[in-house]
Structure 1
Amino acid sequence: MDVFCFHQYFSCICNYKRLIKCAQKITEVPKIDIILISHEHYDNCDLDATNYLVRKYDSKIIAHQSILNKIENSNRNNLISIDEYQSRIIQDIKCTAQPAHHPTSFYPLSYLLNYKEQNIYFAGDTNLTNEHDNIKADLVFLPIGGRYTRDIGSAVQAAKKIKPKVAIPMQYNTFEDIKVNLNHFTEKLSTLKFKINPVILDPGESFYLK
């Protein structure tokens, strides 16, 4: 099962100079079963790329209705609307929308996925919130860039609350405004009283949770 979360992946049409090239051309992306979209910003929701993948693979899309209204898909059953605290089950994956605090977005979401007794938390662009006290996950994707979203310190605070086995940072080093020193992330995680394995992925690299 391939689940794809749009996050600083394809979009390059903006006023920022991109520092890291896209890992793949859109035509090279393998089959995607489900696409999760956290919110409408250009670095999180590339409509051209989404529409291309939907046409090519007949992918299902989970997002807030305000985003789904912009998707070109003749099969409306593939467009799955979701709001905060709602859950949808797609091909044995339970997807629950969690609140996100991202004031510049219309209706931001984060997602908690459950598959084969494992929980994966994709934070989107949210800052630290009280919701993190109630989220438990084996794997977390946390933004660390510190521009319009959380920085390394608050990302580690979120990891401390959630207590995952693995933490993967995201939303960093794509543009000048979100350049960070990744060593600070791994060092801060190592100071916690329990072990969290930091996994740093290069563009296009994969990680498999065991």
Structure 2
Amino acid sequence: MLDKIDVLTHSSIKIRSDFATVYVDPFNIKEEAHDADYVFVTHDHYDHFSPKDIRKIIKDTTIIVCPYKMFEDAREFEREVKEIVAVKPSESYELDSLEVETVPAYNTIKPFHPKRAEWVGYILKLDGKRIYIAGDTGLTKESKTVKCDIALVPIGGTYTMDAKRAAELINIIKPEAAIPTHYGAIVGKPADAKTFAANVQAPVQVVEKIQYYK
């Protein structure tokens, strides 16, 4: 499954599963592929909800999933896609046989992502694996209870966990593999991935996936 997951840049993620092609927070998309079966948005900040980039990947059968408080913003796509689904934190959904769980994503000591905004990360069940895409979050009590096989977590600091805090989370939830995100472009340095890997304990496999930084 790891070879089917790409971090395009920052927190822009593409997963090519046997079931569907999934994007999460598409941003700075280089090509107009129009191949998305699902687009998941974690929150409404410009580097996660980018209408111009979403338009490069959607098609008329795409399902867009977003937090319910930004549903009105997402409605601008309603004539261009199959469906827009609004979700709340700590819930489970089934979308055309895709099993989805939402995990609250928020800062505990920073003001950028307040818990009251009810933004989310996602756990997607694809090809028999539970894949956790954390979104912009700190080290929260909810994130510590996640059960997953693969975790994509932010490491850039400033607006999210930094590399050491993200590694602390991985050492608690113990997935098979961890992929760092949210570094090297808007915030964080490419070297943060090395710090993250150095602090993640075996047997968790750390895999760097970012394809480009700009």
Taking structure 2 as the reference length, the TM-score comes to 0.78
State the percentage of identical aligned residues. 24
Specify the code of the residue in structure 1 equivalent to 2:44.
E
1:41 aligns with 2:45: yes
Map 1:1-210 to 2 at 5 A.
Answer: 1-6=20-25, 9-10=27-28, 24-25=30-31, 27=32, 29-54=33-58, 56-71=59-74, 72=76, 73-74=78-79, 78-102=83-107, 103-105=111-113, 106-175=117-186, 177-181=187-191, 182-189=193-200, 192=201, 194-203=202-211
Taking structure 1 as the reference length, the TM-score comes to 0.79
Deviations 1:65-105 (A, max 9, x none): 23221122127861111101121112322111111114424
Q: Which runs of 5+ in 1 are unaligned?
A: 11-21, 205-210
Q: Give 2:12's aligned residue.
A: none
Aligned-residue RMSD, C-alpha: 2.1
Secondary structure in 2 matching 1:201: coil
CA contact (8 A) 2:34 2:57 kept: no
CA contact (8 A) 1:143 1:171 kept: yes
Secondary structure in 1 matching 2:151: strand
* CA drift at 1:57: 4.2
Deviations 1:131-175 (A, max 9, x none): 133211100001000111000111001101110111000000113
CA contact (8 A) 1:47 1:70 kept: no
Deviations 1:100-145 (A, max 9, x none): 1144243321111123442110000110011133211100001000
Q: 2-side partners of 1:94 and 1:168: how far apart?
A: 21
Q: Which has the higher strand share?
A: 2
Q: 1-side partners of 2:92 and 2:194: how far apart?
A: 36
The count of corresponding residues between Structure 1 and Structure 2 is 184
CA contact (8 A) 1:112 1:120 kept: yes
Q: 2-side partners of 1:83 and 1:89: how far apart?
A: 14
CA contact (8 A) 2:60 2:82 kept: no
Between 45-54 and 85-94, the greater mean CA deviation after superposition: 45-54
